[in-house]
Structures are given as structure tokens and as C-alpha cells.
Homo-oligomer: A and B are copies of this chain.
Amino acid sequence: MMGKHMGPPWWHGRFRGRGYRITVAREAILDVLNRTSEHLSAEDVYLAVHKVHPNVGLTTIYRTLELLVQLGLVFKFDFGDGRARYELAETPKGTRHHHHLVCTVCGRVIDYTDFIDDEIELLSRTEQALSKKFNFKITNHLIQFYGLCNECHRKQ
């Protein structure tokens, strides 16, 4: 189960601080994202939330996910299958930063955290240099590798 002796969820402050309300739908959506390590689409989130709160509509899912992205609590990805995917940016414990391997045949997505340290270091150097050169305030980055996964490679 969840941790013991918990106060209000960690993200309440982020909402209150900006004047956003804490609602049943928002709690439920964050809860779903918090419980999974998958790359959920808006509909995935909707279905999961719907099991517990059948009265929460898909529109609210979209609106809330968008808000969470704006707040930086959630990352939005495009893996090329025509629907956006969402992942919590941070968990209470702080999930390890990861990047993605996307199979261009079957669409499978593999997370990896290996080699991240080197990447992060280079990225941070690059970010600084880019920020300076283009006067661009970098807040985030996206790194994805594309190719054929084990299965699809074999079948070709």
C-alpha cells in the first residue's frame, strides 16, 4: 500500500500556490499516474479513473492532463501512434529520469535509465551553451531513439 503517516498529497502545494482547486477528478488522475509506470494515453487515464469515479468525463481528463503538463508535473510524449502519452514527471520519491526507445514497427516503447548519467552531463553542458547562444531559457528536453525492437527485428 501507500506510505504510512502521510499528510496531504505532495502535489497539493503546487496547486494551491497557483490558485488551482483540488478536486476529486484531479486527485483521481494524479493517483492513476502515480500508480503506473506505463505510458498512458488520455483514454487510458480515463478508463482507469472511470473504474473508481464513473462520473468523471474524458473532457476533464484532457483538461487536467494539459494543466499538469503546464505545471510541469507531467510530461507529454508523442510516440508516433497518433495519440499523446503522459507520464508523471516526478514521484514522491523522485523517479529516475529516463529516456525512450521506440520501435517504429510495433510501437513498443522501452524506458531506459542506463547511460543516463553521461547523457545528463552532456545535456546540461549543451543546454547551457544553447541558452547562452540563442538566449533561450531551456526548461526541458526530449530524447528518443527509434528503431526495431528485438521481436520486430527478428521477423523482418
Residues of A within 8 A of B (CB): 76, 78, 80, 101, 103-104, 110, 112, 114-115, 118-119, 122, 125-127, 129-131, 133-150, 153
> Which of B125, B139, B148 is close to A147, meaning CB atoms less than 8 Å apart?
B139
* Contact partners of A143 in chain B: CB under 8 A: 141-143
Bound Cα distance A127, B145 (Å) = 8
Closest 6 CB pairs of A and B: A138-B147, A135-B150, A140-B146, A137-B148, A78-B78, A139-B147
Beyond A130-B115, A153-B135, whether A141 also contacts B140 by CB under 8 A is: no
Beyond the given pairs A101-B136, A104-B140, 14 more chain A to chain B contacts, judged by CB atoms under 8 angstroms and listed by A's residue number, are A76-B80, A78-B78, A104-B139, A110-B134, A114-B129, A115-B129, A118-B125, A119-B122, A134-B149, A136-B150, A138-B147, A139-B147, A141-B144, A142-B144
